[in-house]
Structure 1
Amino acid sequence: MKPQSPDTVPTDVYLSFVSSLFGNRKTLFTGVFVHILSYVIVFLSTGADIYLGLCLAFAAVFASRMYSFRQFDAADKHVFSRADIARWETRYVLGAAGTAGILGIGSGYAILIVQDPLAEFICIAVTMASMVSIVGRNYGSQKAIDLQTMACCLPIIVACLMSEQLYKAIVSIMLVPFGLTTRSMANGVREFLYKNVIASREISLIADRFDTALNNMTHGLFMLDADNRILVVNRKACELLNLAHQEQLRDCEFDVVLRYGARHAFIDGSLPGLIQRQMAQLVSGSLSRTLIQFNEDLFLEFSASRRADGVVILIFEDVTPRIRAERKILHMVRFDPLTGLPNREYFVETIKEKLAARAQEGQIGILVLNVDDFKHVNDTKGHVIGDRLLVAIAARLQEKAGNMALAARLVGDQFVLFFPNEDDEPDLDGRVRALHAAMAGLYDVDCNSFRVSFSGGYVTMPSREFRPEEWQIKADLALFETKSRMKGGCSAFEQEMDARYVERQKLKEDLREAIETGKLHAVYQPMFTPDGSRIDCCEALSRWVHPEKGSIPPNVFVQIAEEMGIVTGITRFMLNQACRDCATWPKPISVSVNLSAQDLRSDDIVTMVMEALDASGLDPSRLHLEVTESCLMDEVATVRSILTDLRAKGITIAIDDFGTGFSSLSYLDSLPVDIVKIDRSFVRDITNDSRRFKLLCGIIDLSRALSLEIVIEGVETPEQLALIEEYDLADIIQGYVFSVPVSQESIVDMVGNLGRNQRAMRQDNVA
């Protein structure tokens, strides 16, 4: 390995080479003393004054070099850059070359001018002796070797050549290989040191990495020799066994060290026989892995491997968290981890045990409770608060149930109670309803106060008729009945609920088939200009005529479709049908299609809309898409992105039923909306209720300030229409005052009639 040049050698190695130049400065004192003494002798023997001057030059260069050496010693070498190191090397080389140059000049002068044998001998001898020392002192810098060799030898060679003495010239030429040898020797020393520096650094790096890896292991480690003495131990082993510092444990007997650690790990201060046997089996190789419990708070799992030379490596880890987790899992098999209540499986097991232990038959009851609007708590306060509310509910449930009922958590925000009715209370229904009523009220959670109500469904039955696979179905049917009627109530299971459930399931299947086979149809409610002279747009409304039950109201089958997650199928049908029908109507009449919340959960709706437009050939400007506030509440960012994309394609966006929610005003500003459809609730009684009329006017003023087109829905009487026209409150009117929903053929007829009426009126005006 050859040493790299100073430009490429690692900075720390470069610094070490340069630092070596500034070390061992005692030789400099010896050298300057010998140099000056020798030149004084030459002066005394020859009387040449130049040698006194050279003595002064020696002293000046020496003083300058000592000053540089002191500055180098005082400098903070940790902040040296490569350029800083190079500057210090140059300072040293200049000083060393100066001394060598004085020696060379003195020798050349003695040969060429003085020509005294003694002077020549002294000068050349001192110069050659100094050259020999150059290797030992200046190996760290090739520049220093080269410059000093040239400064010493070049004057001698020049003087010998100029003396015109053949043998002197020949001998002086011999200084060239001598100088090259000196240079080669210095390079050899530097190469050797470079190899050692690099090797030492690599060994140190490997040792540091090994030590870092060893001491940052998550496992404890012991390496034992054949005599059971510790060769290597890491920091984690000392931490786990509460041992002394690892350096103090090397060459100690493992058994003794383990007993010392055991005194800190065991209450009785002794190593149990079982653990001692397990350790002996590990070390001997008869056992490769074992779990050792040192106390209730420390479980260590050991594994051992034995080498052919008798060295044993023990690796172990703290598995206390795992053991605790396994115990917790065993607990979670029976209990809910959040509330601590029994889960469904353990709840059923407990019921069976209690019923098996009953001395006589009797009525039992099972009540399922569902927290009303619990999703709203999670959405507004976060899941952490929601979980804490569930914990508070579970605590009150256990308190109210007492010995009267066994409480459990089913899933999510559903709880269940079993009433064993061991005292044969005749009014078991009253007891169930009383507990349901007691659960409602205020719950305080982290400075938040929640008024919570519960929808309940329960079933009572003779204890002998309890069937694990049936009780929840019946209780859930009763709960579903409660939710469909009024939240916060409590319903008992009745047999007709089962029939209604079956009927609803059948209706779901029929609806799925109707959507898949295209058995829905569309009707249209036209929207007129306030004077009734022109149809501006028609809202597409879906209809389903069941083959057996007849016409199913939209609010029924659309709700069922949303429950089933197939409402997008209705949207797809309505988009395709509405675009095809609108394409047959006279321009510029538009068609409006409603989108559901499920439609706006992904940008697939954009593809669906564009496919309907492409298939029908309808201009995008003639398609209006209506979204209600309920569509906007869950994922506003996603909805905004989808509506922006649709609007960019030329489609008109309208907010339907505006004003019925709490956040409608904010949506006007944040969403790409073109039309506001004022809900019918704002129109009702505007001819009699001045406050309602003022509210309607305020909404109209706000919408117009935002340059939005205004559609008022639910206009049913001429009086309402007259008031709206008088105050110019609407751009478009939709309601029974003009038309009920009709077929697409009727729309064509209505447009034709309006056209004929307008032509007749123009003719009358002309006449």
Structure 2
Amino acid sequence: MDSVVDPLSTVARHTPITRRLVAAFGAMFLLGLLVAVAALFNIAQKLDEEDVRKTLFYTERALENRITASKNYIASYTYWTTAYEHLNGEVDVQWAYAEQNMGKTLFTKDGYEGVFVIDRERTKYAVVLGQNVQGDAASYIDTPLQPLVEKLQGQADLTRPVISYTLFNGWPAIVTASVILPNDERPRVDAKGTSVLLFVDQLTPTKLRKLGKSYGLTDLTLKRDTELAPDRPAVPLDSTGYSLVSHLQQPGHQLLWSLLPPLGGALLILALLTAYFFRYALRTARHVDASYDRLQLSTLALEASEERFRAVAEAASDWIWEIDGEQRITYLSGRFNTVTGFSDQQWLGQDIEQLLYCDTTPIVHWLGKLTEEQSTGNLRCSYRDYSGQLRFCRVSARPIYDKAAVVGYRGTASDITDEVAAHAQVQHLSLHDALTGLPNRNKLARYLDDALVAKEHSAPLTLLMVDLDNFKPINDSLGHPAGDAVLLEVAQRLRDSTREQDLVARLGGDEFVVVLNGMDSTTEIDRFCARLIDSLQQPIHYETHSLHIGASIGIAVSRRQGYIPGELIRCADIALYQAKSEGKKTWCYFASQMNDQIQHRRQLENDLRQAVKNREFVLHFQPRYTVDGSEIVAVEALVRWQHPTQGLLGPDAFIPLAEQTDLIVPLSHWVLREACETALTWPGELMVSVNLSPAQFQRSDVVEDVRKVLIETRFPASRLELEITENVMLNDVDGALQVMNDLKELGVRLNMDDFGTGYSSLGYLRTYPFDGIKIDKRFIASMSNSSNDRAVVQAIINLGKAMGLTVTAEGVETQAQLGSLGSDECHEVQGYFLSRPIDKQAFAQLLNSGRPLLKTAS
């Protein structure tokens, strides 16, 4: 008789085991809970410690940047011949205070509560809170001044400012002091007989709030040292008895208070679920056998899935690779043969570094850096295809694990040869003139920086500023093609006239620069200039015409004019004007009396300050069209200066000067407000585009300025587009990114202006939140003359499309250019062929007429 198995006895056999499992799991659960709580408190402590470190770091950084800005600013006043002449003896109060050269604007605009001119015996000039007072600086400043003056006058380099902390009227302040010196070529002055200029920057609560906001600090303020807690992070201000402190966020405490209550509830729920789980586990065991059959079916499905994966891999545009732990290739997808020309059998079993090469890091070293925390990565590599051509690819990889050990790697290789070529071409064009192929202003600046870095120990440089005579009549009478032919011939003759170690650059228009390396003899320079002018005077044959030009040359020599690149160019430019005034076709050396040009600049600056005060500016508007010219999609606002005596001036005449002073901020604010108010009168949703100067990012809160104008004018943010050049990113990469992200949060559009002129524009497009790009007009102008330039324009258009950006071509001046851009499917166009900039009345008439184009393309 068969025996019958009692189900109850089976359960009884499982009961002791189940109890032991429950007890063991309960102990593990409790231990895990304690470890988790301890880890949580450890994380909270580290977060608080990191908060203390970051707060102290950014507090010190904010104070250092404030001091650096004050040093740079006082140097512009003390290293100034005019200031030396008016302040070193008896102070010319009329010049200093009444004419606002060192008057109340240093308080109202620049925030300096105290301005003093002192020497070893007395205080010669004092401005306190913007008012000229008769008093001793020592009565305001809680610092002995005599040792400070002796320290400054005893320095080997008298141009270096000195910083100290003090109490000014009982409140902490930064004192910046520097000796007043001439910047001309007069003999060295007696240090003990010089005067000293003091700037007092009082650390008021308002300044500290603004300074803290710039560095993400909350409630940046001053505390007496006696009131500070022992563990409170603070930056002491020397002997003033005060320290800079900022509010601590204490993210660790916040984490604990936010996690502990819900964590306790979650643990309770987890305990209840665990009890339910053990009751459910016994019932589940009966279904194990049935699950085995389902597992067999799943295995068949997995095999089918793997087959589908291989089919997708063979059809993908990238090729897929796998290697084992010895870096030997074990698999290559079918696309490998299509892209490289090799068969997979030629490379299976070979070391991957024999196929791919990276010039920055060995591939094996890069693969070894990949971990579970960073399991993927990208690396740019190169290889030679079957025909021997050098190609580039972007390699991605991830580790292959077997029981937590890395047994190989797999990844993909994407061909980026065309992208690398386009990037290299754009980089080349950013440093070279598009027409002549000569170095441009950017490359000239780098060359001079490198050549003059050792100053007195550098080889002598002679910089020649060359301007063509009689070039404009050729351009006007025969057109741009003839002008381009002349410029190309001039570039070739300049190359032929110079040596290998010299540099020839084109600044733009008909202006060239020749840098003679290792030459400063007047006899040699004169001989070279005579040969150069004679060469340029030889006729240039263009079609049936024999064209004649000449040249004027301004000369600056590093051993005489100094070792600052910008100063050399400025001196040569001043000398060029003198040469042209002497009858052209000659050369002229820079001399100190030519500094009248500087006085003219100062006069222009004074006129510009009055213009900002009296609002002597007007806006002109240039439409932007769809590439077929059928619709205006946006309008660019361009500022003009209605000068009282010189008439209407373009932006090139005053924007660079405004950027070098504090005038760019109120001027830009006026342009933005005027553009928004004018655009409110336009029909529909027509967008207005406004240029932002790189100087605005350094001297004002751009985001707050834009937000304020949008609120006050009630202008929709979606209709405002801001155009930004690459110089903004060059000055402050991280700060510019934060500002642009904040601008995008306002709802405005961002356009990268003059795309292609900077050497890293492609990198910026990947990082910054741009909505569109504007191709620089120099590429458009040379597009019809060179198939390479046409290819670069096409590459930029395709790049913009691939990244989802609107691409605008500016500087369209011919039907041929418009047709080419239409064929290349550029999105938008702008230029004189479609419409010149016009005032707002003429633009209103254009909109009301219903005709989108001012000029018909026939």
Question: Shorter chain as normaliser: what TM range?
Answer: 0.3 to 0.5
Larger Rg: 1
The structure carrying a bigger helix percent of its residues is: 1
Q: TM-score, normalised by structure 2?
A: 0.35
Q: Tell me which protein shows more strand as a share of its residues.
A: 2
Using structure 1 for the length normalisation, give the TM-score: 0.39
